[in-house]
């Protein structure tokens, strides 16, 4: 038995390798094939390929084998399309999923032509593909569940927005009716009736303002703040315009700040908070301090200030700490909205001593805004 | 350097490719035990820099490609390129598996590699008969990518021209379309033309 010397290196490869010459006589048979087929090298070498592997006496296989030997064109086979080099009967282990490559090989010039036949067991590879597929299917299922959940949330949100729109619209209709009747009462000759009428007007205006601010906060979730040049005077005056019967003083400064068109809601809500705590007779003063590249805006009132529980909540509310949730219940809607809006401008309100003197100590809320 | 190619040359190329894939169709008939027809209705020869014109159309997906490099008196790369839907149909037709079956995923690459190898071997066998010389070939490789990768990855030769033949298959009532792409190294088109004109 003469094994061409160059093939010896292929002896211990972990794939099956054998070589045939132009007459399709086996010239080399490696150890892996011995293991797989139970046929020793001595049994195989020197015999015709179809002699020991009769199932390979197949027109297509022989044609492709010859293409490799005589035309030098390598060939690849998969056992799934019919050609299994190691047939099921021959395999000493188990049915094998096989990939076969036929590579032309020449030795000693043109005279010695061989085809090297390399057989790989890809059964494990197939299992890996199946495992990958299962994993992919699970991932797709999880993704679909997530998309369905997101859709549900989106629809619930849309529904909530619809309710909010309808509710706001209906409440504003009733507020208009209240304001209409209250205006009639304001023309009364009786001082007490006029006073009560003012109270009703104020409550309705506050109700209008809350509805408007809730809509504004809802929009915050969907719209990015695009900083623009905003007239501070206009924003303060718009805020004052929401409360026709409250004593709010402000001296125009001509200041321009970087904010957006929701800045007026900041003022409207701070004023609303003063009215909530101080009643309709509360006095409010807005002042502006020039601090170089920014303005500090102070809103002072002469109300009773905030109860200690609210103050504590407000400190958390103003905190930059991610873990400090706004205490909506404790601070009331107005200050919650103020916090949310100012956060968009990169600032937050701080409490201080009011400049307005009266029977109460009052409350000062200050915040800074960048100059434009 | 530009090469003048006549209608007769194009006809001769189409004939050569048809002979090659005709032989491949015969093999596929036997493997699949069903009637397979293959035809090359259209062949174009283009400078490599116009390759994108052919594939820049409607396809978003990567293409399934089997390619084989060769060298000798004639050098280049021959590939069979399938759009993904055609590749999937071909794999289904050959294996008898249905779309979405777990088996098909595992089989697709191996099957396309073998079918691609048979087709490319057929074409190259036909070409080497005309060239009357034996070439050295690489092992066929399968990949899924944009067709321009076929050109970009040529490192063993300097590409110059490309011959593209649209290949229409019919297997088990399925109509499948692909492209035979031959990327030719410098001087290879002239060599092929000279052999074809003498034949």
Inter-chain touch A78–B113, beta carbons under 8 Å:
yes
Residue A113 region, left (φ>0) first, then alpha (ψ -120 to 50), else beta?
A: beta
Tell whether B121 lies on the interface with A, counting CB pairs under 8 A: yes
Short-list B151, B165, B187, CA closest to B77: B151
Sequence-distant (≥ 6) Cβ neighbours of residue B151 within 8 angstroms = B48, B51, B159, B162, B183
Q: Does residue B58 surpass a pLDDT of 60?
A: no
What percentage of chain A reaches a pLDDT higher than 70? 89
How far apart are the C-alpha atoms of A175 and A209, rounded to whole Å? 11
Do A201 and A152 reside in the same domain of the chain? yes
- A82 torsion bin: left (phi>0), alpha (psi -120 to 50), beta (else): left
In chain A, the largest separation of any two C-alpha atoms, in whole Å, equals 132
- For chain B, the 3-state helix, strand and coil shares in percent, each to the nearest 5, are 45, 30, 25
Alpha-helical (H) ranges within A24-58 are 31-37, 41-44, 49-52
Instruction: Please give the mean pLDDT across all residues of chain B.
Output: 84
Task: Give the model confidence (pLDDT) of A170-210 as tens digits.
Answer: 888 888 899 888 888 888 888 888 888 888 888 888 788 78
Q: How far, in whole angstroms, is CA B175 from its chain's centroid? A: 17
Do A362 and A270 have their domain in common? Answer: yes
Which CATH number is correct for B7-198, 2.60.40.10, 3.40.1550.10, 3.40.50.11860, 3.20.20.70? 3.40.1550.10
DSSP state, residue A79: G
Residues in chain A: 372
The answer to whether the CB atoms of A72 and B134 lie below 8 A apart is yes
**Torsion over CA: A120, A117, A76, B111 (sign):** negative
Nearest by CB: A77 against B95, B114, B139:
B114
Cα distances (angstroms) measured from residue B68 to each of A24, B84, B121, B156: 25, 20, 9, 12
The answer to whether B49 and B111 have CB atoms below 8 angstroms apart is no
Provide the CATH number for the domain around residue A360.
Answer: 3.30.565.10
Query: What pLDDT score does B92 carry?
Result: 85
The owner of tokens 């409207």 is A268
DSSP helix/strand/coil, B178: strand
Question: Any idea what DSSP says for residue A253?
Answer: -
- Whether the CB of A140 is below 8 Å from some CB of chain B: the reply is no
Residues B180-192: tens digit of each pLDDT: 999 888 888 888 8
Find residues 40-59 of chain A whose CB sits inside 8 Å of chain B. 59
Confidence category of residue A316, pLDDT binned at 50, 70, 90: low
What are the tens digits of pLDDT across the range A204-239?
A: 887 887 887 777 777 676 667 778 999 999 999 999
**What pLDDT, on a 0 to 100 scale, did the predictor assign at position A323?**
41
**Residue that has been written with the tokens 């098909």 in this structure:** B104
Do residue A231 and residue A328 come from a single domain?
yes
pLDDT in tens, B79-101: 999 888 888 888 888 887 777 77
- The residue of chain B with its CA nearest to that of A125 is B106
B95 CB near a chain A CB, below 8 Å?
A: yes
Q: CATH number of the domain that A97 lies in?
A: 3.30.450.20
Does residue A138 sit in helix, strand or coil? helix
Listed residues A193, A223, A253: the one ending a domain = A223
Residue A203: predicted pLDDT: 84
Give the pLDDT score at A324. Answer: 44
Lowest mean pLDDT among A128-137, A259-268, A344-353, B73-82: A128-137
Last residue of a domain, one of A57, A89, A121: A121
Question: What is the distance in angstroms between the Cα of B2 and the nearest Cα belonging to chain A?
Answer: 30
Specify whether A335 is located in the same domain as A250.
Answer: yes
* DSSP state, residue A371: B
Instruction: Indicate the helix (H) or strand (E) that contains A143.
Output: helix A123-186
**For residue B16, how far is the Cα from the chain centroid?**
12
CB proximity list for B193: less than 8 A, separation 6 or greater: B3, B5, B9
Domains in chain A, number: 3
Summarize pLDDT for A243-252 with one digit per residue, the tens.
888 899 999 9
Tell whether A134 and A31 lie within a shared domain. Answer: no
Q: Where are the beta strands (DSSP E) in chain B?
A: 36-47, 63-71, 76-83, 136-137, 141-145, 159-171, 174-185
DSSP, collapsed to helix, strand or coil, labels residue B181 as: strand
| A178, A198, A223 - which closes a domain | A223
* Structure confidence at residue A223 (pLDDT): 66
For residues A123 and A96, the answer to whether their CB atoms sit within 8 Å is yes
For residues A321 and A192, state if they share a domain. no
Token pair in block for residue A359: 């029977």
| pLDDT at position A66 over 50 | yes
Write the CB contacts of A4 (distance below 8 Å, at least 6 apart in sequence): A19, A27, A28, A107, A112, A114
Q: Tell me, yes or no, whether A357 and A297 share the same domain.
A: yes
Residue B112: its H or E element = helix B102-131
A46 and A132 part of one domain = no
Contacts of residue A221, Cβ cutoff 8 Å, sequence gap at least 6: none
Q: Among the listed ranges A20-34, A134-148, A198-212, which one has the minimum average pLDDT value?
A: A198-212
Residues of chain B with Cβ-Cβ distance to A134 below 8 Å are 102
> Could you tell me if A110 lies within 8 Å of chain B, comparing CB atoms?
no
The pLDDT, as a whole number, for residue A202 is 83
Mark yes or no for CB contact B27/A63 under 8 Å.
yes
Same domain (yes/no): A94, A142:
no
pLDDT at A254 over 80: yes
Tokens of A280: 């309709």
Per-residue pLDDT reduced to its tens digit, B2-49: 678 889 999 999 998 999 989 898 888 888 878 888 888 889 898 888
Same domain? A234 vs A354: yes
Give yes or no for residue A321 having a pLDDT over 70: no
- CA–CA distance, B147 with B110 (Å, rounded to integer): 20
Same domain, A182 and A232: no
Question: With an 8 Å Cβ cutoff, are A73 and B124 in contact?
Answer: yes
Vertex A62: Cα angle to A89 and B127 (nearest 5): 145
Between A230-239, B74-83, B145-154, the lowest mean confidence (pLDDT) is in B145-154
For residue A68, the enclosing domain spans 5-121
Show the tokens assigned to A46: 């020197």
Which ipTM was obtained for this model?
A: 0.83
CA distance A335 to A186: 30
Q: Which of B32, B70, B110, B133 should be substituted to probe chain A, the one whose Cβ sees the most A Cβ atoms within 10 Å?
A: B110
Is A159 a residue whose pLDDT tops 80?
A: yes
Nearest-CA distance from B1 to chain A in Å? Answer: 31
How many Cβ atoms from other residues are within 10 Å of residue A73's Cβ?
Answer: 27
DSSP string, B130-149: HHTS--EEPPPEEEEE-THH
Residues A231 and A372 in one domain: yes
């Amino acid at each position: 038995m003469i094994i061409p010397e160059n093939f010896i290196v292929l002896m211990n490869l972990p794939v099956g390798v054998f070589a045939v010459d132009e007459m399709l006589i086996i010239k080399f048979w490696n150890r892996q094939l011995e293991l797989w087929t139970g046929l020793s090298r001595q049994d195989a070498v020197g015999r015709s390929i179809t002699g020991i592997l009769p199932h390979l006496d197949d027109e297509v296989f022989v044609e492709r084998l010859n293409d490799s030997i005589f035309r030098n064109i390598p060939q690849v086979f998969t056992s799934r399309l019919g050609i299994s080099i190691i047939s099921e009967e021959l395999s000493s282990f188990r049915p094998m999923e096989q990939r076969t490559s036929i590579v032309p090989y020449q030795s000693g010039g043109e005279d010695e032509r061989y085809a090297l036949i390399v057989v790989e067991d890809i059964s494990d590879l197939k299992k890996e593909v199946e495992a990958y597929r299962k994993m992919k299917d699970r991932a797709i299922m999880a993704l679909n569940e997530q998309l369905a959940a997101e859709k549900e949330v989106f629809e619930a949100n849309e529904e909530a927005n619809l309710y909010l729109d309808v509710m706001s619209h209906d409440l504003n209709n009733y507020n208009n009716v209240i304001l209409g009747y209250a205006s009639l009462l304001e023309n009364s000759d009786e001082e007490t009736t006029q006073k009560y009428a003012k109270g009703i007007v104020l409550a309705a205006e506050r109700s209008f303002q809350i509805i408007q601010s809730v809509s504004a906060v809802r929009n915050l979730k969907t719209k990015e703040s695009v900083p623009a040049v905003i007239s501070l005077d206009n924003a303060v005056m718009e805020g004052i315009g929401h409360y026709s019967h409250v004593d709010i003083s402000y001296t125009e400064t001509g200041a321009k700040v970087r904010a957006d068109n929701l800045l007026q809601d900041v003022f409207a809500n701070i004023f609303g908070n003063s009215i909530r705590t101080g009643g309709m007779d509360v006095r409010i003063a807005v002042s502006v301090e020039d601090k170089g590249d920014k303005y500090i805006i102070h809103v002072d009132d002469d109300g009773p200030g905030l109860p200690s529980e609210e103050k504590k909540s407000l400190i958390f509310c103003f905190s930059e700490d991610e873990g400090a949730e706004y205490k909506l219940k404790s601070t009331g809607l107005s200050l919650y909205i103020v916090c949310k809006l100012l956060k968009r401008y990169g600032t937050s309100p701080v409490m201080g001593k009011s400049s307005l003197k009266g029977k109460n100590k009052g409350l000062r809320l200050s915040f800074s805004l960048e100059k434009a | 350097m530009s090469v003048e190619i006549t209608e007769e040359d194009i006809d001769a190329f189409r004939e050569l490719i048809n002979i090659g894939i005709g032989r491949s169709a015969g093999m596929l008939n036997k493997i699949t035990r069903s009637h397979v027809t293959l035809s090359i209705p259209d062949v174009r020869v283009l400078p490599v820099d116009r390759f994108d014109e052919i594939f820049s159309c409607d396809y978003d997906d990567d293409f399934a490609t089997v390619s084989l490099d060769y060298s000798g008196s004639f050098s280049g790369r021959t590939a069979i390129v399938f759009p993904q839907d055609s590749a999937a149909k071909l794999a289904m037709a050959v294996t008898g598996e249905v779309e979405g079956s777990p088996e098909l995923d595992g089989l697709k690459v191996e099957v396309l590699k073998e079918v691609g190898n048979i087709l490319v071997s057929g074409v190259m066998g036909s070409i080497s008969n005309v060239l009357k010389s034996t070439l050295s070939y690489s092992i066929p490789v399968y990949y899924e990518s944009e067709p321009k990768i076929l050109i970009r990855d040529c490192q063993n030769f300097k590409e110059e021209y490309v011959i593209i033949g649209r290949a229409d298959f019919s297997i088990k009532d399925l109509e499948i379309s692909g492209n035979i792409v031959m990327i030719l190294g410098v001087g290879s088109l002239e060599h092929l033309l000279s052999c074809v004109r003498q034949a």
